[in-house]
Amino acid sequence: MSYKYISSDNPLGIIRMDHYEITTQNLDNIHQLYRNLGFTRIQDHFCAKHDSYYYKQNDMDVIITVGKKEGVFQYDYQKNHGDGCCTLAFRVEDADYALKEAIKRGAEKLQDLREETIDGITIRTTAIKGFGDVKNLFVERCGETKQFFSHFSLIENPEKISAENDPKLIRLDHLTNNVYHGDMEKWVQFYKDIYGFIEVRYFDIKGLKTGLFSKVVCTPDRYSVIIPINEPDESNGYSQIQEYLDEHKGEGVQHIAMTTDNIVETVRTLRKNGFEFLDINPIYYELLPKRIPGIESKENIDDLKSESILADGDDVDHYLLQIFTSTQIGPLFYEIITRKAHDGFGEGNFQALFDSIERDQEKRGVLK
């Protein structure tokens, strides 16, 4: 059999993210949250073990599940950690092959091959244990199917978001994992050894409440799947990563980054839908053209300022725009990002935000 994706560079034949799953016991809250983010609930499934709902927006697929009894994966995850992201599902070329190869490379199996057929099209899944208690599911889809999985039913007349409330989010950019101090390297190695991911970035961010070390792993195309991994740096106070680990009672998905083509419009819409964002010191925007020379010719700085959107990058042709929501599901939050030929994660913003506050203090005569 000849494969299109499986190769020595891509040993599991990963194509893209297939979906992720949120487990909750507060369905109404999570449903409203995903509606506010612009998703539409289009399929559902009810059984003795769990109720599941399938949401879609452009290129993003999300399953929200309420587990109903002990021994059910989603129920147990929620019981141990509270609401959160319990499954990362990767689209693969051959789910059986991906499982066998992953085990050969040291992974722990969670699920043997399952096959289902919808209108003559086969979907095959297998799973391994990921970081923390997160399941890593491999999904092979031999074609487009009406139902996301065979147990789902289509919802008649799904309640679509109105045009004025549609934030127009497009695709998953990255999913950031928080792990215990000392474990970052282990999980970087996990993604490298088992998935064949490459390591693209490392940063060390110091600061009160922000101390963290971070490495980024991704598929060799640097696009299809991107996973930053953070561990706390305790040398500088109580790290935000440690705060996450304490609240989630373990390692887990810290934030989910989604792209938009027009971040100013998206943020305006998200504000209309009830999201709040951190105010940024106005001095940050005075310093911006010095940090990214020429950005003022491409972006309306007043718009960025009025919406508190951050920018980071090298020059006028290579930068990104980003903003973070407050925490939304336990300690999990969302990032909205627009990339202009820049593959960073906004690491320059930590220093820039710090500098803007310091400059403000100087101006007010607080700092000498």
Binding site for Fe ion (CB under 5 A): 257, 335, 345
Beta carbon nearer to Fe ion, 98 or 323: 323
Beta carbon nearer to Fe ion, 233 or 335: 335
**Spatial distance between the Cα atoms of 58 and 161, rounded to a whole number of angstroms:** 13
Q: Closest approach of Cβ 343 to Fe ion, in Å? A: 12
Q: Closest approach of Cβ 346 to Fe ion, in Å? A: 7
Q: Which residues, listed in sequence order, are joined to residue 16 by a DSSP beta bridge?
A: 91
Q: Closest approach of Cβ 240 to Fe ion, in Å? A: 13
DSSP readout, 78-119?
A: HHHH-SEEEEEEEEES-HHHHHHHHHHTTPPEEEEEEEEEET
> Any residues with CB less than 8 A from the CB of 113 and at least 6 apart, and which?
95, 96, 99, 124, 125, 126
- What stretches of 197-332 adopt beta strand conformation (E)? 198-205, 212-218, 226-232, 252-259, 310-315, 318-324
Tokens of residue 93, six digits: 């070329």
Beta carbon nearer to Fe ion, 21 or 335: 335
Residue 133 CA neighbour count, 13 Å, CB half = 20
> Any residues with CB less than 8 A from the CB of 290 and at least 6 apart, and which?
none
Beta carbon nearer to Fe ion, 231 or 335: 335
**Spatial distance between the Cα atoms of 233 and 242, rounded to a whole number of angstroms:** 8
Beta carbon nearer to Fe ion, 75 or 345: 345
> Any residues with CB less than 8 A from the CB of 11 and at least 6 apart, and which?
101, 105, 195, 196
Q: Closest approach of Cβ 230 to Fe ion, in Å? A: 10
Q: Closest approach of Cβ 173 to Fe ion, in Å? A: 8
**Spatial distance between the Cα atoms of 62 and 39, rounded to a whole number of angstroms:** 9
Beta carbon nearer to Fe ion, 86 or 257: 257
Q: Closest approach of Cβ 163 to Fe ion, in Å? A: 28
